[in-house]
Amino acid sequence: MKKMQVINLRGEKEPFSRKKVYEACRRSGASKKIAEKVAKKIEKKVYPGIKTKKIGELVKKILSKESKKSSIKFSLKDAMRKLGPSGFDFEKFIADVFAKNNFKVALNRRLPGSCISSYEIDFTATKNKIQKIGECKYHSSPGSRVDLKIALYNHARFLDIKKHKKFKNKNIQSVLVTNTKFTSKVIKYCKCNNIELLGWRYPKNKGLEKVIEKSNFYPITILPSFKKSFKKMFAKKRMMLASDILNFKPAKISQKTNIPIKEVKKLVEEAKILLE
């Protein structure tokens, strides 16, 4: 089993790891016993050349029989990708995450620079006289990374904004957010230049998935019965979190979104399993 090669999301070969399956189940909230049971079953089902995406599907299927809540949580990374195809809904989601952490958030701002008259900014988040100037990089393709050229552009723009007289003596900070991972060069560069990063599994133990899990800020797209056709309607009402649908009665949600009440009730039940 140690030499069995599987195909990862970037199309590269890598050794099958039973440990990765176990740890993925544990991160989804499964008990040690259930995680071990799933890992053993997967170990028997894998074959040379199987795609890690297929392994994930098998894990979710087995988890759904062992722990419904864990099986829903297991889909978090995929749920983040489902916020696309454009990045705007991801920006709305991130804005909601900052807002629920007591930041005053504004989307799609235009800020002046010293050399360039105006820059379009994805969001600003202000709290305790600190203003974060945020750039969101959304990727819908599995295995995508935020590379160095993105970090360089983001930093150059931030420095020009910081030099403008409007921000003289103001405490402004740069933050780069993504639903995927950063390359090692991006991490090194941003550490060197005091740029805040928030992405998948970064910072270590404080990444986007941890922020979501800690505060139950799960995207509504994580719910198994959520359909692609629902996204536009929920986004329009700024209901981007699974918790949002527990704030209203199903009939009210149906009225607000024009989604049949039968479908809404399914979503509500799944949200309760996930969050309660």
Q: Give the pLDDT confidence of 29-45 residue by residue, as tens digits.
A: 999 999 999 999 999 99
pLDDT reported for residue 100: 87
Tell me what percent of the residues of the chain surpass a pLDDT of 90.
Answer: 83
Q: Give the pLDDT confidence of 142-192 residue by residue, as tens digits.
A: 778 999 999 999 999 999 999 999 998 899 999 999 999 999 999 999 999
Residue 84: CA count within 13 A, CB half-sphere: 16
Confidence tier at 2 by pLDDT (50, 70, 90): low
Mean pLDDT of 53-59: 95
Question: Measured between alpha carbons, how far is 152 from 130 in angstroms, rounded to an integer?
Answer: 22
pLDDT reported for residue 1: 45
Confidence tier at 223 by pLDDT (50, 70, 90): very high
**Which is nearest to 111 in space by CA: 191, 186, 167?**
167
Give the other-Cβ count within 10 Å of 177's Cβ: 24
AA identity, residue 4: M
Give the other-Cβ count within 10 Å of 9's Cβ: 15
CB 201 within 8 A of CB 24: no
Mean pLDDT of 248-268: 94
Mean pLDDT of 136-142: 88
Give the other-Cβ count within 10 Å of 241's Cβ: 24
Phi-psi region of 15 (alpha: psi -120 to 50; beta: other; left: phi over 0): beta
Question: Measured between alpha carbons, how far is 81 from 99 in angstroms, rounded to an integer?
Answer: 21
Question: Hey, what are 50's tokens?
Answer: 């199987």
Alpha-carbon distance values, 177 to 129, 154, 199 (Å): 21, 11, 6
Give the other-Cβ count within 10 Å of 242's Cβ: 25
Could you give the 3-state DSSP secondary structure of residue 83? Answer: coil
The residue with tokens 């195909």 is 7
3-state helix, strand, coil in the chain (%, to 5): 50, 20, 30
